[in-house]
Structure 1
Amino acid sequence: MSGPPAPAPVERRSTAGRWAWMVSLLAVATASGALAFLLSIGATTPQGFFERHQAWLYWVNLGVGVLLGLVVLVAAVRLMVRVRRGRFGAQLLGRLALVLAAVSLLPGLLIYGVSYAFVNRSIESWFDERLASALEAGLNLGRATLDSKVQDLGAQARVGAQRVADEGGASPALTLERLREQWLAERVALLGPNGQVLAEVSDLRDATVSPGLQPAERVDPALLRRAARDGSTGRVEGLEDDGHGGRHARILVVAALPNTGIKLTGDQRYLMVLQPLPVSLTTNALAVQTASQEYQRRVYERDGLRRMYLGTLTLVLILAVFVALLLAIQLGNALAKPLVLLADGMRQVAGGDLTRKPVMSSRDELGGLTRAFADMTDQLGQAREQAQQSMAALEQARARLQTLLDNLTAGVIVFDREQRIASVNASATRILRQPLAGLVGAPLDQLPALAPLHALVWPRFATLTDGAGPGLEHWQLAQDLPLPNHPAPLTLLLRGAQLPDGQWLLVFDDISELVSAQRTEAWGEVARRLAHEIKNPLTPIQLSAERLEHRLAAKLAEEGDRAMLTRCVGTIVNQVQAMKQLVNEFRDYARLPAARLAPLDLNALVQEVMTLYPDAIEQGRLLPQLEPGLPWIQGDASQLRQVIHNLVQNGLDAVSDRPDGRVVVDTKQSRHDDGSVRAVRLTLTDNGPGFAEQVLSRAFEPYVTTKSKGTGLGLAVVKKIADEHAASIRLSNLPPAQEPTASDAPTGGARVSLTFSQLAPQGAA
C-alpha cells in the first residue's frame, strides 16, 4: 500500500482556521471567567463591592462584549467572502449560523425573563419571617433541653452527695465509681473546700476525655460558692463548634455535700460530676445554631446576591448568543470541508483516477465518510489479502480455543449421543479426583465413584429433548457429590447443554470453598446480630440485681433470707457474666479488628502464654519445645496471643480425660535450599482423641464443634486471624507412629500447624 498522501490545500486552511477558533474561544473564556469571578466576589461583600468597583466592572463588561463582537464580525466577514467566491458549502454555513442564532436567542430571552422573576421571588422567599421564627424556636428548644439536662444531673448529684456524706470516709472511691456507672458519667470527683481533689474516678476508655486534665483545673471557684449556697450548680461546656461536631460537649455539675454533725465552714466538701452530652443532641443544637447564623448572614447579603444572580443571568444570555454563532460557523466549516473533499474525489473518479484519495483527520461521521470513500478505491486490490488474513485468524482462533479449553479451571466433559465420554479436560480429572482420561469412549458410570454423577446429569439432559422443558437451551444446578476416600462431599455447580452436532456438554466447577465462605459470612452476620441483641440487656440486669441486694440486704431480718438473697443475686451475676463471655466470643468473631503487624518474637509470645498455665506445665501436661534463635515474624501480638491461648486450651481440654495426656507446643524454622529462612512454624500436638472425620473438613466454619459446651467459634476466629497474617493453618490427625508423647503413651491425637511466611526485616529484633 502507498504511504499517506500530502495534505490538500483544504487541510492547510483548516489548520489556520482551527488556530483562530481556539484563540477566540480562549479569549472569550478568559474574559467571561474573570467577570463571573468578580461577580461572585461581589456577592460575598454586597454592601461595598459594587459601589467601589462599579465603573471598573462596567468597563470589564463592555470589554467582554466588544471582544465577542469582534470575533463574530471577523467570522461574518470571512463567510461573506466565501459566498462571493462561490465556495462550496458557504451558503449552507450562512443559513446554519442564522438558524442557531435564532434558536439560542429566542429561548434564551424566555428563560432570562422567567429566571429574572424566579430569582427575585426566590431571594425574597429565603427571608420569610416564619423561617426566622422557626430558627429562633429551635434555638430556644435546644437551650431548654440543655438546661433540663443540667437540672436533672444536678438533682442526681445532690442525691449522690447525700449518699457520699452518709457513708462518711469509708471507701469513697468505690462509692464514686458506683455513682459514675449509674450516671454514665465521664468523671466523678470528691473535692475539698478549695477545689483540691480528695478522690476521683474516671472512665479512661472514653476517647473524648482530654489526657491529664485535672478536675480542680476545670472547676470555677464561683461554681463552688454557688454550690455551697444553692446545694448544686452546673453548666454546659464544650458546645462550641470546634470542628468535631460537638463530640467534646459535656455537663459539669458541682453539688455540696451536706454537713453531718458539727463541722466548720472550711470543711465543706463538694461532689463534681462531668457527664458527656449525647452526640445527636449536640450535633442538632450546633446545626440549628449554624442555620440561624447562615440565615442572618444571608439577610445581610440579600442585595449582593440579587445583583450577582441577575448579572450572571445577563452574562450567560450574551455568552449563549455569541457562542451559538461561533458554533454555527465552526459546524458549517466542519460540514463543508468533507463535502469539498468528496466532490473533488468524485470528479477524479469520474475521470478514471482510482488512486487513494485524501481523507479528513476527524473521527466523526463525515470524516468516516471520506475514509470510506478512499477505502472504496483500493478495496478490490485488498480483497484477496483480507481473505487470506481472515483464514489465518480463524485458524489461530481455533488453536486459541483449544488452548483455553485445556487450561480452564472448570471441568469440561463432552458426551456423544450414546452417553459415552467423547473428550475431557484436565480440570475435570482434578476436580473429580478420578482418571477420566482413561474413560474416553466409555460411559461415565463405568467408574463406581462417578455413578451418582451419571445418574444426576442424564435425566436433566433428557429434559432438553423430550419436551419436558420446552424452550430450554441448558440446565444448571448445584449439588453435593460424595466421593470415596474423601471426608466431605464436593459441592459442584453443574451446567449442561446440547451441542449443535447432537453431542452433550457438561461444565462443572468445585464451589465447596465458595459455599463454605458464604456460610462463614452468614454466620458472621448472625453472630454480630446476636451479640448486639443479647448484650444490651445484660448490664442493666446485673446492675439491677446488685442494687436489689444492696437495698434489701439490710432490710431482711432473717439471716436465712439474707443468705438466700445473696445466693440468688450471685447466681444472676454469674450467669450474666457467662452470657457476657458468650456475647464477647460472638463479637470477636463478627468484628475481628484488622491486624497491626509489627516485628514480633514468637518464642517470647509463646513463653508469655505458657505463664498462664503453671499447673499444666508443673504436671507435665503442657510441654513447650521452642527452637532457640528463631527469626522474628511480622505479627499482631494481641491477636496471636489469643490464637496460642485458644489452641493450648483446646489441646488441654482434649486430653483432660487422660491421665497421661500431654500437649506439645514447638516452634521451628524452615529454610530454602540456599540456607535463607523461608518461614516460621508453630505446631501444637496432643495425644487426645483427635478431630472427628465429619468435622475435620469443616473445622474452620463457625459453630462446627463436638464439644458439649463449645460454641464452635474458637477455630473460626483462629482461621480469620491466620488469614490476617497471611499465614497458612493446617489441621490433621496423627497416626500412631507420630505420637508426640513418651513411647509408652497411647496412640492417636491431633496436630495444628501455623506457618508464618511474613518475616520481620533483619535488625528489627
Structure 2
Amino acid sequence: MNASPASQVAGKSRAVRWALGVGVSVMAAIGLVLLFLLTLATNNRALYERNYAWLFGTNVVVAVLLLALLVWVAVRLVARLRRGRFGSRLLVKLAAIFALVGLAPGLLIYVVSYQFVSRSIESWFDVKVEGALTAGVSLARATLETQASETAARTRSASAQLAQVPAAGAGLALERIRDQLGATDVVLWSASGQLLASAGPSSFQLHPERPSAQQLRLVREQRAMAQVEGLDDLPGPAATQDARVKAIALVSSTSVGLLVEPRFLQVTVPLPPVLVANAIAVQEANREYQERALARDGLRRMYIGTLTLSLFLAVIAAVLLAILLGNQLARPLLVLAEGVREVAQGNLSPKAVLEGKDELDGLTRSFALMTQQLADARETAQDSMGALDEARARLQTILDNLTAGVIVLDAQGLIRSCNPSATRILRAPLAVCVGRPLAQVPGLEQFASAVQRQFDDFLAHRGSHGPDHWEHAFELHASPSGAAHHATSLVARGAELPDATHLLVFDDISDIVSAQRVQAWGEVARRLAHEIKNPLTPIQLSAERLEMKLSGKLPATEQALLTKSVKTIVQQVDAMQRLVNEFRDYARLPAAELQPLDLNALIHDVLHLYESDRARVAVRAELDPRCPAIAGDAQQLRQVVHNLLQNAQDATEQAGADADGALPAVCISTHWSEASRRVRLRVSDSGSGFPAHILQRAFEPYVTTKVRGTGLGLAVVKKIADEHGARIELANRLEDGVVRGAQVSLSFAPEHAVAS
C-alpha cells in the first residue's frame, strides 16, 4: 500500500532534519576532539612541533564549515522573515536567546582566560629562573671537566706501569690497568697510530678508532689529556649510557736513543649515569627555556588562538543548537499555519503531519484529518457538478444536433437560449440576440407577436387537466431581395417549464409542404393528361373534316373564314397536346438510374444542338477540367441542361438586346470545389431576373414568368435534382445592387462519395 503524499512529505522533511542534526553533531564532535588534541599539543613540545599546525588548521576548517552552516541557516531565517512566514520571528528570538546565553558566559571566561594566559606566560620567563638555569649548566660543565681531569691524571699514573713492558707483553698489563681504573677499553698506540696492544672491545675490532695526529702532538706536550665524548652525538636519555671520558697519556720509556718510538696509553672510562642525566636535563631545560623565551610572542598567540577558537566553536554550536531546538518547537505551528493558508486558498490536498506524541503534533494530525474530510466532501461535490455539467453538455449536444428549432423564452419574451437549428430555420441571428426580446429580432416581429398570443391563450385557458402544450402552424415570409428567399412553413409547439420560462419548439415543414404540392400537381397532371388528351384528337379530326367537306362550296369570304377557323382549331389543339404531354412527362418522370458520368462530356454533347448560326441566343461554356465523375442519369441530366438553357435563352430574349444591339450569351459553367468536395453546375443569363414572389415558389409546377410557359421546367429540374441528391439554388445576379439576370446552380457529390 503506497504512502500518502502528506506522509511522504513529512518523511522527507524528517529525514532532512535528521541528516542536518547528525551532520552538525558530527562536525561538533570532530571540533571538540580536534580542540582537545590541540590542547594536548600545547602542553607537549614534541607533539606541538609535529601536529599543532594541521590540528589548528583542521579546527579552523571545521569552524568555517560550522560558520557557513550558520550563515546558511541565518539566510533562510531572514528569507522566511521577509516572506512573513508564520513562526519566523519565534525562531529568530529563540536563536538570539540561545546565542546570548552561550555568548555572554563565553566572553566572560574568554576575557579572564586571556588575562590569565598572558600573565602566566610572562611569569614563566623570570630573571631568577634564567640565572639558575645558567648556573646549573655551568656546574654540570665544571663537574664533567673535573671528571675528565681526574681520569687524565689516573691514566698518566697508570702509564708508568708500561715503561719497562715491551709491546708484545703489554696485554696483561693493560688488563690490570683496565681493572684498576674501571675502564671499558684500554689501548696502547704507537707514535704512528699503530695499535700495539689492547684490552676491551678494541681487541675485537679490525679498525678501531685511532687518535688523531693533533691529539698525539698535544699529549707529547702536556704528557696527558682527556675529553668527554657521547654527550653531543646522542642528546636525550640514550646519552647516559654512551657518555664516556677518553684519556690519552704518554708512556715513559727508560731507554735512551734516537730510534726509540714513544707509545701512548688510551683509556676509556664511562661517566656515571646520574651525572650524565643531570647534566643533560639541565642543558635541555636551558635550551628549551631559551627557545621559548625567543618564541614568547608566538607562544602567546598560540594559546590565545586556541582559546579564541574554542570560544568560536562554542558560540556557533550554541546558536546552531538554538536554531535546531527552536525549529523543533515551532515546527508544529509552522505546519498548521501552512496548512491553514493552503486551505484558505482552496488547496485541500493531503497535509503534512508530525508523528510526535505531544499535543501540538496531535493537533497537526487532527488538522490533516479535517482537511482530508473537506477534500472528500469537495470531491463528492465536484463529481456531482461534473455529472451535472456532463448532463448539461449532453443535453446541449442533443439540442445542437436536433433538426427542430428550440428557443427558451422568459415570461417577458426575452430569449434565454436557442439552438443552431432555430437560427437555421428562422434565418435570423438568434445567437447574438440572447437576452433581447424575440420581437426585436429582425424579420421575426409578426412571428414573435403570434407566439406570444399563443402562450397568453394557453396560460389563460390551461386547467388542471388541460393540455400541457399548444401547437400551431405559421407561415414566415422574408422581405423581397435579390436572393432566393422562400416562404417558410413552420409547425410550432409551446410549453411552460418548471422555472416559469417558456419552451418553444418548431419544425420547418416547407419541404413537406412542397413535396405535398408536387405530389398534388403530379396527380393533377396525370388526371389532366388523361381527361384532356382523349377529346383533343376528335376535335382536330372534326375540324379538318369540316374544312375538307366544305372547301370549294362556299363563297370566298366564308371560305377564308372557314380556313382561318380550322387553322386556329388545329393550332390550339396542338398547343393543348404539348401541354398534356408536358403534364404527362412530369407525372411519369421515371426514377433515376445513377451511373458514373462525366458532366463536362455531357454538356459538350448537349451544346452541339446550340451551335447553329441561327440560334436566338448564343451559349458560352466555361468547364473546369478538374471536375471528377459524378453519379447521374445521363438522360435526365441532359433534360436538366436543356430546360435550364432554354429558360436562360427565353429570359435573355425577353430582356432584349444590349446597347450594341446584340443579345448577351448564356453562360454554362462547371467548377470543382476542393473545400466542399462537390461539382457545381451553373447556368446564368442576362435577363430581367426573377420577381420576389416567383423566387419564393419557383420550383412549384405552373409557376412561371413566360406568357406561354407551363411552369413545369424548373419543377422537373427540381425533381431530377432530388433524385440525384443534388443541391439546387436559384438567385438573381446583382451588379452594383442592380439585377443583371438570374442563375441556377446545382452541386453534385463525386461518384466515389455517392458509392460510399
The TM-score normalised by the length of structure 2 is 0.42
TM-score normalised according to structure 1 size: 0.42
